Structure 1
Amino acid sequence: MNCLTKEFAKLTFRCGQYPFSKILGGVRYKIRYVEKPQIGNGKSFRRIVHYPTDYTVKPLNVTNLGGRDPKSGRLVVKGIGGGIKHKYHWIDWKRVGPSEGPPQVERVIKIIKDGCRTAFVALVAYEDKLKYILATENMKAGDLIRTSCYIPRIPVRPNEGDAYPLGALPVGTQVHCVEMYPGMGGNLIHAAGTYATIVRKAPDNHVVITMPSKREFSLPATCMCTVGRLSNVEHSSTPIGSAQKNRELGNRPRSGLWQRKKGIHGRKLRKPPPLRTIKALEKDNTETIVLTCDRPFVKTLYTQFRY
């Protein structure tokens, strides 16, 4: 291979001012460029859930990544690996109810534990439909929960597990699975034992809530939420107990070097960030013009045009 490179170098094929040998380069040091995956952006590199086309309550199959990028196979997160393989239960994040009249009544069938999340999962039935939702702190099998999208003039008195818009609940209510935009689905507050609190009403038909991190959000009053605190409250205060249990959870051991914290690692008291106002997404009503041609395109000669 080295002799072949020398023969190519003797050629004087020029592209501009650069010889052919400089364009070819050393063949021995040719490498394949692979893009390095970035950490964050909603990717944990822990598992891939195989979702079907239609919603189902059957446990879904999961592919464990072990901290590696699924495309390149490179190791991205060192602290992930091994663990017990769990099935994934598909949560229906959208609580949709009637916009007028009495609320929709659903029954809780059972409460189960999902290995892919911290909070418990409740199987809920309405007529002939089944779906999974996140269970609240005191929810049990046989409970009746209500769902409504109507905002009355007087705030309602909800029970734990009911789903209402933020504008229909009184001030001081604990909520979870809050929508950031109307119709988006509950994408805020999913961890075990967490909840947000409705603080006050804001102008422009907005409601201010306080997150578990003490940060305040001003959301549209039509955003749906679920009343109550999430289940498995003792999750954050329960110790793992042993190194074997930590490996079963899918965590690899960290460095064994023990470092004493110095004074620079003391707790900093900082005020929370300012209030963040989220406005509803505006629908784009612009019409799209689509040009169609029923007949096939035929090329016309220039000589056929006579002026």
Structure 2
Amino acid sequence: MNSLRELFVNLSLGKQLLSTKNQLPITSLERFYKYKPHDKPTPKPGGGKQFRRLVHYPENKKYTVKPLDVTHLAGRDPETGRVAAKGIGGGVKHKFHWVKYDRDGPEEGPAQEERVIDVMFDGHRSANIALVGNKDNLRYIIATENMKVGDIIKTSRAIPRNPVRANEGDAYPLGALPIGTKVHCIEQTPGFPYHKIRAAGTYGTILRKFEGHVVILDTRKHELAFSETCMATVGRVSNIGHQDVKLGSHQKNRELGNRPRSGLWQRKTGRFGRKIRPLPPMRFVSGLPAAAPEKLVLTMTPHPEPVPIYGNSF
């Protein structure tokens, strides 16, 4: 012990510490951790932003059927790194298949034909996907209920005078299909890549047509009015039994990328009862968003000419 003290005294730092009046032992030196404040904003969930995965698309943004790499975010914001969703984390890593939802075809003449090359499982969505191709053009689409390898599917944007007899997997405008047809992957606005009814086992039924619109009854029994030029795929989405699958264990839920919630088990007592509400009225879906109203700027500058005052003068 004396030898260690002599070695410490010989050091320059040791001489300074031992020369002070309040000599501190070597073991009493404290470490000071300085807190570094940050100006990173708190992430706000919602607004079409998801915190489960980050897909690495090609730099040229050109469509490809090559499986894309994925980075798991585990519920964190990709910009700030702060936790935004606590129920997300872990899970089996899958390659991402870029699905091309828009089915674009000729507006005149015969319909475009494509052959189904493969029907496969995709870990990033509930429905199965299908690889279809025409000559050198390949793409992924959402598979239908009875789609199989070797099927020929058609795509056309023409609206004939008489309704067409479409097979499962064909894509036509809503105005070209007869009433009672089951459809999915419906364009919300003609020409824009925003589609409805894409989950596994879902479909919509054509109820009626009026004034250039087609009314669709979705799985929630809601009536939605689309433009008759919106494209839709005939049939029901594949993987019908997705909602009936039993996880069976907590480990299976972790494989799906869901973190455990509170372990407190509570029985549903039904104290507040079941609220039965009427269905909402028909809602128009198609159409571009309305333009923002023009802002009026009020100033206090005097009028160039005096304004006459009518009535009794004081």
Tell me the equivalent position of 2:39.
33
Aligned-partner residue type, residue 42 of structure 1: G
Provide the rounded CA distance (Å) in 1 between the counterparts of 2:78 and 2:160.
49
Between the aligned partners of 1:71 and 1:277, the Cα distance in structure 2 is: 36
TM, length-normalised to structure 1: 0.80
Instruction: Measure, in 1, the Cα distance between the counterparts of 2:128 and 2:171.
Output: 17
Q: How does 1:105-184 map to 2 (within 5 A)?
A: 105-184=113-192
Residue in structure 2 matching 1:280, options 283, 287, 304: 287
Runs of 5+ consecutive residues of structure 2 not aligned to the other structure: 1-33, 292-314
- State the secondary structure of the residue aligned to 1:236: helix
Q: Which residue of 2 aligns with 1:258?
A: 265
Aligned twin of 1:235: 242
Offset at residue 44 of structure 1 (A): 2.4
> Deviations along 1:73-132, whole A, 9 cap, x unmatched?
111111110011110000111101111111111100010111101100100011211000
- 2:106 pairs with 92, 98, 105, which one? 98
Partner SS, residue 271 of structure 2:
helix
Question: Structure 1 residues 77-86 or 254-263, which shifts more?
Answer: 254-263
- 2 CA distance for matches of 1:67 and 1:183? 33
Post-superposition Cα deviations, 1:140-193, rounded to whole Å, max 9, x if no partner, equal: 000000001000111111100000000000111111100010011352111100
Greater gyration radius: 2
Q: Which residue of 2 aligns with 1:270?
A: 277
| Pairs within 5 Å for 1:175-254 | 175-185=183-193, 187-203=195-211, 205-254=212-261
Asked if the contact 1:174–1:197 (Cα under 8 Å) also holds between the matched residues in 2, the reply is yes
Q: What is the match of residue 12 of structure 2?
A: none
Give 1:30 shift.
8.5
Name the counterpart of 2:295: none
Between the aligned partners of 1:279 and 1:192, the Cα distance in structure 2 is 23
Matched-pair contact (CA < 8 Å) for 1:83–1:251 = yes
1:281 and 1:127 mapped to 2: Cα distance? 35
Cα drift, residue 31 of structure 1: 3.9
Give the counterpart letter for 2:246 in structure 1: P
- Paired amino acid for 1:150: A
Q: Structure 1 residue aligned with 2:77, among 66, 69, 73?
A: 69
Following superposition, the deviation at residue 263 of structure 1 comes to 2.8
Provide the C-alpha distance between the structure 2 equivalents of 1:152 and 1:226, rounded to a whole number of angstroms. 17
CA separation of 1:75/1:122 partners in 2, compared to 1, >3 Å: closer, same or farther? same
2: distance between equivalents of 1:155 and 1:83? Answer: 46
Cα-to-partner distance string for 1:235-274 (whole Å, 9 max, x where unaligned): 0011112111111111111111111223334322112222
What is the total number of aligned residue pairs between the two structures?
256
2:283 counterpart letter in structure 1: R
Structure 1 stretches of 5 or more lacking a match? 1-27, 285-307
Find the aligned partners of 2:196 and 2:56 in 1 and give their Cα distance: 23
The verdict on how the C-alpha distance between 1:265 and 1:135 changes in structure 2, with shifts beyond 3 A counting, is farther
* Paired letter, 1:237: D
Give structure 1 regions of 4+ aligned residues with deviation exceeding 6 angstroms. none
2:49 paired residue number: 43
* CA RMSD of superposed structures (Å): 1.9
Q: Secondary structure at the match of 1:151?
A: coil
Matched residues in 2 for 1:88 and 1:279: separation? Answer: 29
Contact 2:190 2:286 in 1 (8 A): no
Q: What is the one-letter code of the residue matched to 2:236?
A: R
- The structural deviation recorded for 1:279 is 4.3
